[in-house]
A = this chain, B = another copy of it.
Amino acid sequence: MNEKWEKFSARLSELEDLSQAIRLMHWDQEVMMPPEGGPARARSLATLQAMAHDRLTNTEMGDLLGELGTDDSLDQWQAANVRITKREYDKATKIPEALVRELAEHEATAYQVWTKARPADDFSMLEPYLKKMIELKKQVADSIGWTNERYDALLDDFEPGMTAKEVEVMFDELADDLRPLVDQIIDVAGERPAFIDRSYDSAKQQQMCDWLVQAMRFDGQAGRLDTSPHPFTMAVSKGDVRQTTKADPNAIMMSIYAAAHETGHALYEQNLPEEHKGTPAGQVPSLGMHESQSRLWENQVGRSRAYCGYLYPRIKDFFPEQLADVDEQTFYRGANHPQRTLIRVMADEVTYNLHVALRFEIELALFRDELQVADLPQAFNEGMQKWVGITPPSDADGVMQDMHWSIGALGYFPTYTLGTLYAAAFFEKAEKDLPNLHQDMARGEVGPLLQWLKTNVYDHGYLYPAKELGQMVLGEQITARPFIDYLRTKFGEMFSTSF
């Protein structure tokens, strides 16, 4: 009986209880809350976040962390809980409580403004809120402290230990291979399959998504699927992992692949080690690692030739009219049509990471004081032309298309591309370990893959930092190579050529 550990564990548990409430309030705000509930919700969230901050940073917690940090009687999970909490404590004690509160309240408010500014296509509505957001985030970064680059302090919130320098290298390496490859693939891609732009009843799409997430092994007894303007996954608590999708009648592929994507996030959360769920060590180690699963289930599984063969007749059952003249191969083509498009969340696998590269470039410029918020729309449009080769016709579908900056998620975007690289690398490894993987997927059987991921990735929770976990799984550091190979092979086969 380790008395210090018991005390610490009780404090962690209280923090988790408070965090659960906060996560539920966030989920509810985006999925359920009526518009006029906004101001009261923003204030209540700010209060709870300040309480959580206070409980993480008080002296008793500091003392316990100090003592347990040198206690070598702890098992590896206990030690990880201490280590992870110490990291959070060190960061959090540096941020003044008033700033935490102001930021939390501003995040909720700015999100509310974004939900109105985007449909109104009015960046000037959002601009002052984004400006204040950047200022507050700079204050946060400066409170935490940084060595080379202010952005490092923000990135660390989402991808602990990663630096802006590393992200720049990642995008440079990727861009070297990816940009010419995109041009080559799009050159031979041909016409956009017509069926993907047909109209599909929203309610039917929701039923289809209910079916799909279950087919992918999402546990509906321990989660929900709802709709929201921007699909997301929220692990409210142990036994309660919620995902949302969006059923736009004119975007059937969006609804299929948003569901597959969020299911990937949800599977990671639902399959974390049961007895450690709800503790720091029993969580996903980074957003990049989280995204590796959403992208793997969306793309390596959902958009594969094999799984499209499984999906095709079942989706045709939901939409017999719209798919009457569509065969299996055309369906597969439709699920993968590479094209320069406006909206990141609707982008195909080939062009997707160009959208992310642009956002990273902009974030870096904002925090290096090389770009002002007022100039964001122009910078975004020019960047879209440079990276994706297309200029947005409006700010609604340009700089305001993502909610991230409005909710304070700055330093978040690079994790999408990191996740893309991990997804390709993990899947390449799984293909070697599971010789029947593609045959299984062709009949909708994803159990062996899920088990492989559970054993190799999910079961480790946050015992190791993301980079270390990646290395354990792959036997080497992550690079862009498996992703580029994957694109070359997949699209080479699709268009009967080689890239």
Contacts and interface: CB of A to CB of B under 8 A. Distances in A.
A102 to B, nearest CB: 15
Q: How large is the interface on A (under 10, 10 to 19, 20 to 34, 35 or more residues)?
A: 35 or more
A44 B17 contact: yes
A5 to B, nearest CB: 19
A348 interface: no
A71 to B, nearest CB: 26
Contacts of A136: none
A200 to B, nearest CB: 20
B224 A39 contact: no
Contacts of A16: 44
A48 B220 CA distance: 27
A361 to B, nearest CB: 39
Contacts of A484: none
A44 B32 contact: no
A36 B239 CA distance: 5
Nearest to A55: B51
A56 to B, nearest CB: 15
Given A24-B24, A25-B24, A48-B18, A34 B237 contact: no
A333 B78 CA distance: 67
B34 A239 contact: yes
B14 A24 contact: no
A396 to B, nearest CB: 23
Contact of A36 (B48, B51, B240): B240
Contacts of A32: 32, 224
B21 A44 contact: yes
Nearest to A220: B34
Contacts of A467: none
Interface in A21-62: 21-22, 24-25, 28, 32-41, 43-44, 46-48, 51
Given A220-B34, A221-B36, A237 B44 contact: yes
A44 B236 CA distance: 11
A278 interface: yes
A16 B47 CA distance: 10
A390 interface: no
A37 B236 CA distance: 8
Given A17-B48, A48-B21, A38 B224 contact: no
